[in-house]
Amino acid sequence: MDFSTKLNALVARTETALDRLVPALPADAPAGPARLHAAMRHSLQAGGKRLRPVLALAAAELGGPEHIEAALPAAIALECVHTYSLIHDDLPCMDDDDLRRGRPTCHRAFDEATALLAGDALLTEAFVILAQTYAARPALAAALIRELADAANARRLIGGQMQDLLAERAAGENIPPATSAELEYIHLNKTAAMLEASLVCGGLVAGLAPAALETLRRAGRHLGLAFQIVDDVLDASAATAELGKTAGKDARDGKATYVSLHGLDRARELAAEATAQARAALAELPGDPTFLLALADRMLTRRN
Ligand code: GRG
């Protein structure tokens, strides 16, 4: 199977599992207020790249194709946490954005309070999915919950976001912008943490050995940095219609990015270097990493 066919197949399996595992728009009362579920699905089913689920499924496949099915709930939990972070990041008190995944942001389509709650609900739902679907394998359930919680906590995703907000405020108050070390801290936590967790969760489901899990974590760290540098490059160089989110925002907000610190050309080189480091780690993995290697390349050349 060629790369694009396989990528499309993994995305399609993710979409089907999302529909199955996240509470439906309730005609059925037990699922709770319809408006909340509509807001959750508005953001969740808006057609993101599904990168985190695909990384999890591909990592699981390293242990054999039979592990893909078992990894689907973990993949959906990762996408729920990611989508919550996007909804909250778009809120007026944070990035204040109108467009996400080519659609009005959650608070624009609904209202601020509903968007806040939809994010909260998706974050919580992620852990419900892990606890319920892996209940028959309690050690695996605990490991997955720990991995996702570690990635999403105050030291990583939320800590990175906080530091990002502080750096942005500093720029607005004419305090010197973030240094490259500070920027790396932000991106390792705001962006790379969830990509590391995606690969490791897939590896956990497949029962990979601790050394392989650490290699996945290392690969995820480099992929995460590469992904973020490409994000900075795209924000500075691509069009809003192509991105499905507002382009050119970083420069307008005076934000420190790889592009503002190093310039477009050097930022592109740094993304390529981080991708090469990710590829070197992926090549050490057991099983067949061909798809993950091609995915690393695709992440470098992506247009949105
Ligand atoms: C609010 C706790 C909290 C965290 C927010 C995700 C995030 C942290 C901020 C979004 C802004 C941003 C540009 C983050 C860095 C790169 C990134 C995570 C982009 C979005 O991920 P994609 O491109 O999105 O995979 P899709 O929509 O394709 O899933």
What residue spans define the domains of the chain? 3-301
Listed residue (19, 165, 3, 155) closest to 79, CA to CA: 19
Per-residue pLDDT 10s for the chain (304 aa) are 899 999 999 999 999 999 999 976 655 555 568 899 999 999 999 889 999 999 999 999 999 999 999 999 999 999 999 999 999 999 999 999 999 988 999 999 999 999 999 999 999 999 999 999 999 999 999 999 999 999 999 999 999 999 999 988 776 677 777 888 999 999 999 999 999 999 999 999 999 999 999 999 999 999 999 999 999 999 998 777 776 777 777 777 778 899 989 999 999 999 999 999 999 999 999 999 999 999 999 999 998 8
Query: β-pairing, 99-100 with 103-104?
Result: antiparallel
Cα→Cα distances 123→31, 36, 164, 258, 265, Å: 16, 13, 20, 29, 37
Which residues, at least 6 apart from 240, have a Cβ–Cβ distance to it below 8 Å?
99, 246, 247, 248
Helix (H) or strand (E) holding 124: helix 112-133
Query: Quick check: CB of 189 below 6 Å from ligand 1?
Result: no
Query: Quick check: CB of 255 below 6 Å from ligand 1?
Result: no
Q: In b/e form, how buried is each residue of 116-154, taking b as 16+ CB within 10 angstroms? A: bbbbebbbebbbebbeebbeeeeebbebbbebbeebbee
Rounded to the nearest whole angstrom, what is the distance from the C-alpha of residue 86 to the centroid of ligand 1? 5
Cα–Cα dist 170/79, whole Å: 31
**For position 296, what pLDDT does the model report?**
98
Return the SS3 of 230.
helix
Largest CA distance in the chain: 55
Identify the residue whose C-alpha is closest to ligand 1 atom 13.
Answer: 231
Query: Quick check: CB of 158 below 6 Å from ligand 1?
Result: yes
Q: Name the residue of 81, 123, 190 whose CB sits within 8 Å of the most ligand 1 atoms, as the mutation to test its pocket.
A: 190
Return the SS3 of 18.
helix
The pTM of the full predicted model, rounded to 2 decimals, is: 0.94
**For position 25, what pLDDT does the model report?**
61
Query: Quick check: CB of 140 below 6 Å from ligand 1?
Result: no
Query: Quick check: CB of 225 below 6 Å from ligand 1?
Result: no
Is residue 133 within 8 A of residue 80, CB to CB? The reply is no
Query: Quick check: CB of 162 below 6 Å from ligand 1?
Result: no
Considering the segment(s) 3-301 as one domain, its CATH architecture is: Orthogonal Bundle (1.10)
Residue that the structure tokens 């496949």 belong to = 61
Which residues, at least 6 apart from 238, have a Cβ–Cβ distance to it below 8 Å?
247, 303, 304
Cα–Cα dist 144/25, whole Å: 27
**For position 242, what pLDDT does the model report?**
73
Q: Name the residue of 78, 183, 231 whose CB sits within 8 Å of the most ligand 1 atoms, as the mutation to test its pocket.
A: 231
Amino acid identity, residue 268?
R
**DSSP tag of 28:** S
DSSP assignment of 52-100 equals HHHHHHHHHHTT-TTHHHHHHHHHHHHHHHHHHHHHHHHSTTTT--SEE
